[in-house]
Amino acid sequence: MGAAKIQHRHAKPPRSAPRALEKFRRDPQETAKTAEYIADMAGELARLAGAARLPILTYFLNMARMEAESHLSSRS
């Protein structure tokens, strides 16, 4: 049996994506709320990954959490 060839397809964002992202460029409060949500979710996922003994995933999720928290602290 030969190795199956995997084709990767990159999803294209919908055409409306730039318009949807406009509110984040115009509204700093919306950006801050989003960063706070990402920090919370990444922290929860990092705890799950740590409990499952997935160290690399834990590391990257904690990096995402720290980046979001850094964004929040730089805005205050």
- The per-residue pLDDT string of the chain (76 residues; one tens digit each, 9 = 90 and over) reads 455 555 555 555 555 656 666 766 778 888 899 999 999 999 999 999 999 999 999 999 999 999 999 999 987 6
For 18-29, give the DSSP string: HHHHHHHHH-HH
CA 41 to chain centre: 9
For residues 7 and 35, what is the distance between their CA atoms, to the nearest angstrom? Answer: 33
pTM to 2 decimals? 0.67
Which pLDDT does position 29 carry in this prediction?
A: 87
Which pLDDT does position 26 carry in this prediction?
A: 74
